[in-house]
Structures are given as structure tokens and as C-alpha cells.
Structure 1
């Protein structure tokens, strides 16, 4: 099996993080754009004070998520060609995690805003709570449960190790 160097591992980790950030960035940008246009829609004047407060929470959380998820790009520009890939990967990991946290707040707040506008408030709270639990299940619960199933030194399997396991599951 091919052993990667520390430099190759950091480069692979950074490439993996960039792919993850691309997915998250698209989602947060779409939500942020929707929230930015909402006050200009014809129904917005009909919102209650509570709904406007929830809107502000959702908008600010989406802005914070966008800032954190995009920040590794700026960090990379500043550290470019300084041989500090480990610092970049650690920073990007923290920013991605924080950005996902703010995205969770933005998503649940957006669901609460919309459902409170069209449904009774009690139903809106229940649906928003279920939405939050749903996100936490897939973003936190399942990854941590799966993480404890199989572990190796790097907490990740190389592509070669995964291919070997698929070819011979008894290994």
C-alpha cells in the first residue's frame, strides 16, 4: 500500500475541505440571497413583529455562515506559498464547523419564519424543532456514531485501503 507523506496528507485534507466548503457555500449563498430579497416582496409588510425578529436572526445567521464558510479562501490567499498548509487546514476546519452551526440557525429560523407566516405558531414551533433535530441528526449525530465504528491512525481511510476492503471485505 502507498504511504502518503505528511505534506501529501495535509494537501489531501485541504482538497477534501474545499470540496465540502463548495457544497456548503452554495447552500448558504442561496439561502442568504432569498433572505435578502424577502423584505422587498409584497407579503413582507403583513409580517408580525415576531416574524420580523426571526427574519433578522435568519439573515444575520446566514451572513455569519457565509463569512465563515468563505473565510478559508482569504486565509489561503494570505498564507499562499508559505508552507503553512497545516495551519490552513486547521483554520478551515474550524471555520467550516462554525459556518455549519450558523447555517443550522439560519435554516431553522427560516423554516420558523415561513411556517409561522402560513400556519399557527404552535405548529410552526413544532415543525421548526423537528427541522432542527433533523439537521442535527444528519450533521452531528450520524457522523459521530459512524466515527466510532471504524478508526485508523488518520481517522480516514486512504482510497487504496477502501478499494482493498471493497475487494476483500474479510481483511
Structure 2
């Protein structure tokens, strides 16, 4: 394959590209949705545990924020499915793919914050130690490296070759 063929990409129409990108996006969303659904389901049960009443006001506030974040994350990551259903057959797939991609990106950002908030709550309750914020910060930095840093680095490295 020549450098020019590599730069040109696939030979597909806008609609074919939208179909391919939609399929890829939905596969990505399925992975994220599974984790969100498990996390959100767990969060919904916490309030019904006996220990919830003994949590400090700060921990209860973190819990409430975490549940709301989980609900928002779920909405953002399920949004592309609803979008597709409502615009299907209307000949707007390229635009729908762009919008669904943005919703998914927002959903992943919300998932990052939800996971950080969940981890903060769990570690505060489990250890009640002063190092918890540092540990949570380290985990969030790890997520940022894995979810955004490495992909952006790879995109930049491979798009600048040639």
C-alpha cells in the first residue's frame, strides 16, 4: 500500500461510512453501557443497606452526587440508541452518527467522574483515611491516560506519519 492510499482511507460513500461508523460506535457503547449498568445497579442498592444511615453527611452527599452522575451517565450512553431509533429511515445517518458520537464522549466523561466519585465513597467508608483523595486522584489519572492520553497520542503519532 502506498503512502497516498494509506492517507486516502477507505473508498466509501458518506452513507457507507456512516453505516460503518454507526456499527463501530454501537459496539463501543455496548462495552461502556455494561459497566455503567452494573455500577448504577450497585449504587441504587446502597441506600437500602443498614450502614447507609450511619454514613456521615459528607458521605451521604457523595452518594447522592454519585447516583445522579450514574443516572446522567446512563442517559448519555443510552441516548445514541434512542437517537438512532427516532431518526432511522430519515436519511440523516451521517448527522446522527456525529451527534451519537458526541453523546458517547460526554457519557464517557460522565463515567469517569462517576467512577471517581464511587471510588471516593467506597474508600472513605472502607478506610476513613486521609490518603483516600490521593488514591482516587491517582486512579482518575490512570483512567485519563488509558481513555484519553494513549488514544490521543496514537492518533497524533499515526496521523502525522507520512
Q: Does 1:140 align with 2:148?
A: yes
Separation of aligned partners in 2, 1:92 and 1:121: 41
> What's the Cα RMSD here?
1.4
Residue 119 of structure 2: which of 107, 111, 125 is its match? 111
Deviations 1:36-60 (A, max 9, x none): 0001112212211111111111111
Partner of residue 15, structure 1: 23
Residue 85 of structure 1: which of 93, 96, 108 is its match? 93
Tell me, which stretches of 5 or more residues in structure 2 are unaligned?
A: none
SS of the residue 1:71 aligns to: helix
Separation of aligned partners in 2, 1:27 and 1:123: 26
Residue 33 of structure 1: which of 41, 46, 51 is its match? 41
Q: What is the TM-score normalised by the length of structure 1? A: 0.85
Q: What is the TM-score normalised by the length of structure 2? A: 0.89
Number of aligned residue pairs: 152
Q: Does 1:46 align with 2:54?
A: yes
Q: Does 1:59 align with 2:67?
A: yes
Q: Which has the higher helix share?
A: 2
Give the C-alpha shift of residue 124 in structure 1. 1.3
Separation of aligned partners in 2, 1:143 and 1:81: 33
Separation of aligned partners in 1, 2:50 and 2:129: 21
